[in-house]
Amino acid sequence: MRVRKALFLFVFALFTLHTAFGMTADEAKHAIQGYFQTGEPEKAINLANQFKDTNPDFKRLAFIAAVKAGNTRYAERLLPFNDPDAELNFYIGRYYEEMGNLTKAIDIYTSFQGDNMFSAVSYYQAGRCAELKGDLIKAEIYYDLALASERTYSSARPALARVKEKLGKKEEAQKVLSGRYSTMARGESSFFPPQAKPVKTLPDNFKGKKSGRIVRACLAEKITSFSVTLSQTNEVFNIRYEKGAVLVYNKTKLIKGLTSSYKILNKNGNGTLKLTDIRTRSGISGSISNGSVFRGDIEVLIKDKALMLINHIDLEEYLYGVLPAEMFNQWPYESLKAQAVAARSYILLKMQSSATAEYDVYVGRNTAYLGYNREKPQTTAAVDETFGIALFTPLGSPIDALFCTNSGGYSSSPATAWGSQNQGFLSPVPDKKIKANKSAPSSVQMAQFIKDPPPMYCYVAPHASYASYRWCVQYRREELENIVDPGHTIGFIKGINVNSRDISGRVTSLTVQGTLGVIVIGSRDIRAKLGGLKSSMFVCEYQLARNGLPNTFMFIGGGWGHGVGMCQTGAAGMAVSGIGFKDILKHYYPEAIIKNNCY
């Protein structure tokens, strides 16, 4: 590890030496970004100084470096700036905060308009300044905005809870800490306005075709009792577990008592079943709620002294309830069709591998199935129009057609996401608008890709929120130490070094350097170990305190989710541009074979 860092520093030393002999501006910018990531802002200042009089970009970089270094005297000499970008605006706010002008800092932090990756950290710092001033009402608003801008920002959650506690809102504070709190501000869903297009109309021969293949979807377990209403007859049955048996009542009359299982049938297969009055033991597993409605039949099994509910439903009708949960029904129609094919391929594989199990998929664990009452005309039409179309390997097996919310511009691989074996059909691919990498990019190259991205399909408004495409979270050193090393075995954190990246630029190994030791984190654990980052596509920059240790760590990243398979927002962007669903699938699942009739 020491050899790696020594080599890294040697390269930067060569960059600096080359400046005297005509370093280009681009080379200097790359070197400065490198210094930001190695915690050497003073070197960044020295290099930026050599260019700032002839290139205004370097005045900006010099100011950011000065704030990172805590050199407020030099930063003051570089002010003011006209029309600062989001990153520079954030550091201007930090400058005023360091100078003790909290009112000015709040004005700066909250002044920048529009979606940008620094929204969450800017609102968080504004909340911190307001709290230091004793203005708890404004602190609550700004911390709430930080959490609304970046739901995975773990520092904002305890800060918001703390302020709510001080304001006497104890119940809300508990909801914030438990993750059950809905922010007062607009959440990310507000970035997806409806698309003003009519519902797709299909010929009758497309509508409602059945596959003849039955999916077994586990809806919930640990149920003690529930009621079910049959839509065709309006009959209501009350079912409960008691002393090792399934007891079925019609109103108050016991009509069946079984010791194994009971199947609630939909006569003729055209009705629906509505579940109400669901009661559970503590620790309910599953995600159905009172009032959920399902097509097909429901099997009631006894398991662990309670009831397990399994929906038996035709595969195509199952997809009607899956698609609205996986993709916004207002999105471009070709992207909905691509999602339908991916979901069909996925469930075919699950059915193939679970033939001897009690169920094929489990709602809330490996499927987002919502049932009949959440179906939408547009998504149902997309399922109907792609009837029987699925993706297969060259050997004839359905592929594991994974997908993610946003790839950040380059999809990942199973090896990076989970440490599992790579598959050709899940190979990393770039956004269709950009070229593939020939080798794993450096951290400096990734900083440029993330901070100044080229036009890409995976960010086409209104189908992608900026917060899913580019993001930034910040931790104080003490916060990060509690997250990464709760036992405090490595002392104070003095740096984070990226050891390796994959072809997409995602971090596959990094070292957290402490004053007493190090922690090495592998690819499958990186997101969780760093506080639940949205993705492993990021760069890390830190700001030094006067004692020479980092004061704050900033993770600047791209994408949301594991990044493997189809980028859903990328699919939407491609569809907007007129690219058909089969070409979308061919792009995101290379080597997969599209079969037009999988039944």
Q: How far apart (Å, rounded) are the C-alpha atoms in residues 397 and 548?
A: 57
Structure tokens given for 287: 């995600």
370 C-beta neighbours (distance < 10 Å), count: 22
Q: How far apart (Å, rounded) are the C-alpha atoms in residues 457 and 478?
A: 38
pLDDT value of residue 254? 87
pLDDT value of residue 577? 94
Average pLDDT, the chain: 89
pLDDT value of residue 248? 92
Place of tokens 């209403």: 229
Q: Are 565 and 342 in contact (CB under 8 A)?
A: yes
DSSP assignment of 434-487 equals: SPPPSSPPPHHHHHHHHHSPPP-TT--TTSS-HHHHEEEEEEEHHHHHHHH-TT
pLDDT-derived band at 488 (thresholds 50, 70, 90) equals: very high
pLDDT value of residue 115? 77
* CA atoms within 13 Å, Cβ hemisphere of 58: 21
* CA atoms within 13 Å, Cβ hemisphere of 256: 16
Q: Are 428 and 411 in contact (CB under 8 A)?
A: yes
Residue 370 has pLDDT above 80, yes or no: yes
Name, in order, each residue with C-beta under 8 angstroms of 559's C-beta and a sequence gap of 6 or more: 404, 405, 406, 407, 408, 409, 458, 468, 469, 534, 535, 537
pLDDT-derived band at 332 (thresholds 50, 70, 90) equals: very high
98 C-beta neighbours (distance < 10 Å), count: 16
Q: How far apart (Å, rounded) are the C-alpha atoms in residues 11 and 64?
A: 22
pLDDT value of residue 286? 61
Place of tokens 């004692």: 547
Angle at 453 between CA 447 and CA 459, to 5 degrees: 130
DSSP assignment of 213-280 equals: -EEEEEEEEEEEEEEEEETTT--EEEEEEETTEEEEEETTEEEEEESSEEEE--GGG---EEEEEEEE
Cα dihedral 354, 355, 359, 365, rounded to 10, equals 10
Q: Are 248 and 256 in contact (CB under 8 A)?
A: yes
Q: Are 71 and 98 in contact (CB under 8 A)?
A: no
Per-residue pLDDT reduced to its tens digit, 376-412: 999 999 999 999 999 999 999 999 999 999 999 999 9
pLDDT value of residue 547? 84
pLDDT value of residue 335? 97
User: With pLDDT > 90 as the criterion, what percentage of the chain qualifies?
Assistant: 73
pLDDT-derived band at 312 (thresholds 50, 70, 90) equals: very high
Q: How far apart (Å, rounded) are the C-alpha atoms in residues 226 and 574?
A: 45
What pTM did the predictor assign?
A: 0.86
Q: How far apart (Å, rounded) are the C-alpha atoms in residues 124 and 372?
A: 41
Helix runs in 70-169, H state only: 72-78, 86-98, 102-109, 119-133, 136-149, 156-166
Name, in order, each residue with C-beta under 8 angstroms of 199's C-beta and a sequence gap of 6 or more: 377, 378, 381
Q: How far apart (Å, rounded) are the C-alpha atoms in residues 371 and 361?
A: 14
pLDDT-derived band at 261 (thresholds 50, 70, 90) equals: confident
Residue 200 has pLDDT above 70, yes or no: no
Cα dihedral 86, 92, 96, 102, rounded to 10, equals -10
**Residues forming beta bridges with residue 261, ordered by sequence position:** 301
DSSP assignment of 158-205 equals: HHHHHHHHHTT-HHHHHHHHHT-PPPSS--GGGG-PPP--PPP---GG
pLDDT value of residue 207? 63
Residue 194 has pLDDT above 50, yes or no: no
Structure tokens given for 27: 């080379």
Per-residue pLDDT reduced to its tens digit, 218-258: 999 999 999 999 998 889 999 999 988 999 998 778 888 88
pLDDT-derived band at 195 (thresholds 50, 70, 90) equals: very low
Mean pLDDT along residues 127-137: 97
Name, in order, each residue with C-beta under 8 angstroms of 521's C-beta and a sequence gap of 6 or more: 484, 509, 510, 511, 512, 529, 530
Per-residue pLDDT reduced to its tens digit, 341-357: 999 999 999 999 887 78
pLDDT-derived band at 18 (thresholds 50, 70, 90) equals: very low
pLDDT value of residue 464? 78
Least confident of 20-24, 307-311, 343-347, 488-492: 20-24
pLDDT-derived band at 546 (thresholds 50, 70, 90) equals: confident
Per-residue pLDDT reduced to its tens digit, 515-541: 999 999 999 999 999 999 999 999 999
Question: Which of 185, 184, 157, 161 has the alpha carbon at shortest distance from 171?
Answer: 161
Place of tokens 């001897």: 356
How far, rounded to the nearest angstrom, does the alpha carbon of residue 295 sit from its chain's CA centroid? 30
Place of tokens 């404004």: 138
DSSP assignment of 380-422 equals: HHHHHHTTT-EEE-TTSPBP---EESB-TTB-B-HHHHHS---
What does DSSP say about strands 403-404 and 566-567: parallel, antiparallel, or unpaired? parallel
Cα dihedral 386, 388, 392, 396, rounded to 10, equals -160
pLDDT-derived band at 502 (thresholds 50, 70, 90) equals: very high
What is the Cα Rg of the chain in Å? Answer: 27
pLDDT value of residue 201? 54
* DSSP code, position 115: -
pLDDT-derived band at 198 (thresholds 50, 70, 90) equals: very low
Q: How far apart (Å, rounded) are the C-alpha atoms in residues 137 and 485?
A: 33
Buried b (16+ CB within 10 A) or exposed e, 131-170: beeebbebbbbbbbbbbbbbbbbbbbbebbbbbbeeeeee
Question: Which of 559, 526, 532, 574 has the alpha carbon at shortest distance from 411?
Answer: 559
How far, rounded to the nearest angstrom, does the alpha carbon of residue 246 sit from its chain's CA centroid? 41
Angle at 36 between CA 147 and CA 521, to 5 degrees: 65
Domains belonging to the chain, first-starting first, are 2-190 (1.25.40.10), 212-392 (no CATH), 466-558 (no CATH)
How far, rounded to the nearest angstrom, does the alpha carbon of residue 328 sit from its chain's CA centroid? 15
Mean pLDDT along residues 462-488: 91
pLDDT value of residue 181? 77
Mean pLDDT along residues 151-158: 87
